[in-house]
Amino acid sequence: MHVLQRYADHDQRDDRQADHGGEHPVGVEQRLHGSEGTGTPVTRRTGRSPSTRDRCRARRAGNCQSVPRSRSIVVALALAGAVVAAYLVLVQTDVVAHAWDPVFGRGSDRVLRSSVSRSLPFPDAALGLVAYLLEAALALTGRGNRWQRRPVLPLLYDATALGLGAAAVLLVLLQATVVGHWCLLCLCSAALSLAIVAVGRLREGRAAVRRVRVARGSGHSWRAALTDLGPA
C-alpha cells in the first residue's frame, strides 16, 4: 500500500507541474512487473509531451500561430508606407509644392528634388509605392500554411520585405553622406520598411526554402516545388 501511495503521489505531482506549464517529460506510461518477480507495479515515463513536440515542429517549420497575426501587422505597415510613398510621389511630380516637414523644414524638398532622387527616369518614391502595395497584397494572399502548398508566395513576400529594408538603409545613408539634408517622411518610410522586416522575421521564407529543398530531393520539378505542393 505504501508503494502504491507513493506512485499515486508522484502522478499527482506531475499533473500539478503540467497545469503550471512545466517542461517535464510526459510520455507513454508503461506499467511493468519487477524483474525479480515481486509483482510490484513500476511506472516508467518515456518520450516528450506531444503538445510540446508539435509546437517545436511547428516553430521550426515556420507554421506558428503568430504567422497570420504578423502578416496582419505587415499589411497595416505596408499600407501606411504606401500612403507615405504616394505623398512623396506627389511632391516629386510637383503636384504638391512643398513637402510637409515640421522637423527639417525645407530639407525634405532638397532631398526629394536632389540629383539622387532624380537619377531614375521616374520618381524613386514610386518604387517604394509599388513595393509597399506588393507586400500588402502578398501578405493577404494564401492561408497560414501557404509555405507548404505554395512556397513561391512566402518567398516573394520575404524577398519584397528584404528589398524594402535594404532600400531604406541605402536611402538613409545617401541622405547623410551625399545629399546632406534630411527628409522626415523619408525617414518615416524607412522606419516602416525596417519594421516590416522585423515583424515578419523571414520565418515563412525560411520554411518555404526547406520545403522546396525537400520537394526537389523527392524528384519534383522546380515549378511543382514552388507552386504546386500539397500539405506536408
pLDDT tens for residues 92-108? 999 999 999 999 999 99
Determine, yes or no, domain membership for 58. no
Question: Positive or negative, the Cα torsion across 189, 195, 201, 204?
Answer: negative
Same domain for 126 and 20: no
> Greater confidence, 193 or 56?
193
Report the half-sphere exposure of 49 (CA within 13 A, side-chain side).
Answer: 15
Our count of domains for the chain comes to: 2
Predicted confidence (pLDDT) per residue in 137-155, tens digit: 999 998 878 888 889 999 9
CB 103 within 8 A of CB 184: yes
Nearest-angstrom CA–CA distance, 23 and 90: 56
Q: Residue range 172-195: average pLDDT?
A: 96
Nearest-angstrom CA–CA distance, 124 and 175: 14
What does residue 62 show for φ and ψ, rounded to 5 degrees?
85, 5
Determine, yes or no, domain membership for 164. yes
Same domain for 218 and 111: yes
Residue 99: CATH number of its domain: 1.20.1440.130
Taking Cα atoms as reference points, which of 88, 228, 205 lies closest to residue 135? 205
Same domain for 145 and 88: yes
Same domain for 144 and 89: yes
Determine, yes or no, domain membership for 57. no
Determine, yes or no, domain membership for 135. yes
Same domain for 153 and 183: yes
Q: What is the pLDDT confidence band of residue 222, given thresholds at 50, 70 and 90?
A: confident
CB 186 within 8 A of CB 85: no
What value does the mean pLDDT of the chain take?
A: 79
Same domain for 200 and 153: yes
Report the half-sphere exposure of 116 (CA within 13 A, side-chain side).
Answer: 16
Same domain for 184 and 146: yes
Q: Residue range 184-204: average pLDDT?
A: 94
Q: Residue range 177-199: average pLDDT?
A: 96
Determine, yes or no, domain membership for 195. yes
Entry pTM: 0.69
Same domain for 102 and 12: no
Same domain for 84 and 14: no
Q: What is the pLDDT confidence band of residue 74, given thresholds at 50, 70 and 90?
A: very high
Same domain for 6 and 111: no
Q: Which amino acid is at 45?
A: R
Count other Cβ atoms within 10 Å, centred on residue 205.
21
Range of the domain at 17: 2-48
Question: Positive or negative, the Cα torsion across 101, 104, 105, 107?
Answer: negative
pLDDT at 72 over 90: yes
**pLDDT at position 20, please?**
45
What ranges make up the beta strands (E) of the chain?
A: 28-33, 41-46
What does residue 24 show for φ and ψ, rounded to 5 degrees?
-70, 150
Determine, yes or no, domain membership for 107. yes
Same domain for 73 and 44: no
Determine, yes or no, domain membership for 87. yes
Predicted confidence (pLDDT) per residue in 154-177, tens digit: 999 999 999 999 999 999 999 999
CB 183 within 8 A of CB 108: yes
Nearest-angstrom CA–CA distance, 205 and 154: 5
Same domain for 133 and 183: yes
Determine, yes or no, domain membership for 143. yes
